[in-house]
Amino acid sequence: MRLLAVGLNHRCADVSLRERLAFDGPKLQEGLKALRALPEVQEVAVLSTCNRVEIYAAAREPQQAAQAIKGFLSSFHQVPPEDIKDPLYVHTDQEAVRHVFRVASSLDSMVVGEPQILGQLKEAFQLALQERTSGVLLNRLLKKAISVAKRVRTETRIAENAVSISFAAVELAQKIFTDLGDKAVMLLGAGEMAELAARHFISAGVRHMVVANRTYERGLQLAQEFRAQAVRFEEFLQAMLQVDIVLCSTGAPQYVLSKAELHEVMLRRKQRPMFIIDISVPRNIDPACQRLDNVYLYDVDDLQGVVDANLGQRKKEAQRAEEIVAQEVEVFERWRDSLQATPTIVALRRMAEEVKERELRKLLNRVQLDEAQKEAVSYMATAIVNKLLHPPTVALKNSHEDRQELIALLRKLYSLQAEQ
């Protein structure tokens, strides 16, 4: 049985094509069953995310299976074959194993080290198990991929440090305040970046959050999602008296907070330190605010520098992760290679058992034995068979370079008819 991975990702296909080929909602279960029904495919799993659509399969003839899968993708999603001919890639055997391990470890992701892909792969594996579309080969491959990803995250720092502006903002806040559990946060604006930052703040332990947005209803909606307090935009200066961190992303064409306004706020706060992150473009916080005592103001350029530095660090860690993947590919390939010996081992044991049973019947037809004696003779015959079969079995399982020669030799010596 051979392995293959057929698919496309963010590197070779734009988002419109990925959307057309996505297995979303009921399409996933339906598509998985239809793929398994293809005569060229013996085992199959589907990984479908916003950045990739990939089919992992086990087949006797990988080239035929790849063509069948390509045809299926075209017909199932009603996408002309010429639209997917160039973007689709096909990896077989060892390269397929390497690809799946790299995907699970987020080495093939748009953002190296992102954690979502491992959860998505686990879900794909779980569905394949549930629908019984995977078997010995894919089960072992996907289990191993998950363990490889965990090893990469344990032995490298590939998932550490912020690689998004919103995450970098939270990381800086943690450096200034250390513990965010007792700090209050204000989101000035309720757009996508503010929402992402809110999620990161919650993950970092923030328990109290205030949302101020020009459209109060949108601010209220975001506040309810994160169990935060919503205030009207014109009241945000008053609300700043009670917060320690302000993240501003309003999209306004001018400053929404001047130095003079913030100076008044700081006086009323009795100069309690305030950390302000302005991720708006153009900037919404007057840069002169930085000159006020106990005010720590960062803009998007400051954060981008953090992100770039962290991306560089992740690339270094990715090199270590690639070494781990290479080691694990070799381990998996040794196991997969050993499967070639299984039919021969089964045939050898079947032949030996048939000889044993035949000779026992001959003996029992000639000699009168009681039940205890029959059991003792049968036990001895089984023990002899097991001892004789042990050396060739171990040799077949442990050999690598000369396994095919050993298989051929045993088949010839014992006239074995092992089915692959």
Q: For residues 246 and 264, give the distance between their C-alpha atoms in angstroms, rounded to a whole number.
A: 16
Looking at every residue in the chain, the average pLDDT score rounds to 90
Instruction: pLDDT band for 161, please (50, 70, 90 cuts).
Output: low
Q: For residues 220 and 210, give the distance between their C-alpha atoms in angstroms, rounded to a whole number.
A: 10
Average pLDDT over every residue of 168-183: 86
**How does 373-385 read in b/e, with b if 16+ C-beta sit within 10 Å?**
eeeeeeeebeeee
pTM score of the predicted model: 0.65
Q: How does strand 2-9 pair with strand 89-92?
A: antiparallel
Beta bridge partner(s), residue 2 = 59
Superfamily grouping for domain 2-159: Glutamyl-tRNA reductase, N-terminal domain (3.30.460.30)
Q: For residues 364 and 362, give the distance between their C-alpha atoms in angstroms, rounded to a whole number.
A: 6
Average pLDDT over every residue of 169-184: 87
- Residue among 165, 199, 195 at smallest CA distance from 281: 165
Instruction: pLDDT band for 194, please (50, 70, 90 cuts).
Output: confident
- Helix and strand tally (H, E) in the chain? 16, 10
Average pLDDT over every residue of 230-249: 94
| pLDDT for 255 beyond 60 | yes
Beta carbons within 8 Å of 401's beta carbon, 6+ residues apart: none
Strands of 2-9's sheet in order across? 43-48, 52-59, 2-9, 89-92
248 counts as catalytic: no
pLDDT value at residue 400:
67
- Give CA separation, 107 vs 45, 56, 128, 316, in Å: 20, 18, 23, 12
| Amino acid identity, position 160 | E
pLDDT value at residue 335:
86
pLDDT value at residue 82:
94
| pLDDT for 164 beyond 80 | no
- pLDDT tens, residue by residue, 64-114: 999 999 999 999 999 999 999 999 999 999 999 999 999 999 999 877 887
Average pLDDT over every residue of 349-358: 92
Contact, 6 vs 55, CB < 8 A? yes
- pLDDT tens, residue by residue, 102-160: 999 999 987 788 778 999 999 999 999 999 999 999 999 999 999 999 999 999 988 77
pLDDT value at residue 162:
57
- pLDDT tens, residue by residue, 277-302: 998 878 899 999 999 999 999 988 88
Q: Give the domain 165-307 fold.
A: Rossmann fold (3.40.50)
Backbone torsion region of residue 55, taken as left when φ is above 0, otherwise alpha when ψ lies between -120 and 50, otherwise beta:
beta
pLDDT value at residue 420:
45
pLDDT value at residue 71:
96
Mind giving me the DSSP string for 264-326? HHHHHTTT--EEEEE--SS--B-GGGGGSTTEEEEEHHHHHHHHHHHHHHHHHHHHHHHHHHH
Average pLDDT over every residue of 395-409: 78
Average pLDDT over every residue of 5-28: 91
- pLDDT tens, residue by residue, 43-61: 999 999 988 999 999 999 9
Tell me which of 310 and 264 has the higher pLDDT: 264
Domain ranges, ordered by start, for the chain: 2-159, 165-307, 343-414
Contact, 117 vs 18, CB < 8 A? no
State the catalytic residue, choosing from 12, 50, 248, 289. Answer: 50
- pLDDT tens, residue by residue, 360-381: 999 999 999 999 999 999 999 9
pLDDT value at residue 341:
77
Contact, 172 vs 277, CB < 8 A? yes
